[in-house]
Amino acid sequence: MSFKVYKIIHLILTGVITITISLFIASGGLGENYTGNAFVYPQFLLFIAVWLIGAVLLFNKKVRTVGLIISALPTVIFAGNIVSALI
């Protein structure tokens, strides 16, 4: 499989995971939203910004591996938090 196909699959998988979990947590998650705001914890939206920076760097040939690592960071952090919560 060429790197171009892997790059697209990587961006789709990490993007779906990052965006859905970030929006879920930022909107209050399972707790109730007493404030009336759309996003109770807007700092969790920074994970989407980190993923976007990695996605942009992934298309630059000089820093392709850095972009690959940065775009995978939010997914790895969320997976680590889920595993630690289950243990």
Task: Going residue by residue through the chain, which has 87 residues, state the pLDDT in tens, using 9 for 90 and above.
Answer: 677 888 899 999 999 999 999 988 888 776 766 777 777 778 888 999 999 999 999 988 899 999 999 999 999 998 998 899 898
The structure tokens listed for 5 are: 């196909």
CB-hemisphere CA count at 13 Å for 46?
A: 5
User: Contact at 8 Å (CB) between 18 and 47?
Assistant: yes
Ranges of each domain in the chain: 3-86
pTM of the model: 0.83
Residue 36 region by backbone torsions, left for phi larger than 0, else alpha for psi between -120 and 50, else beta: left
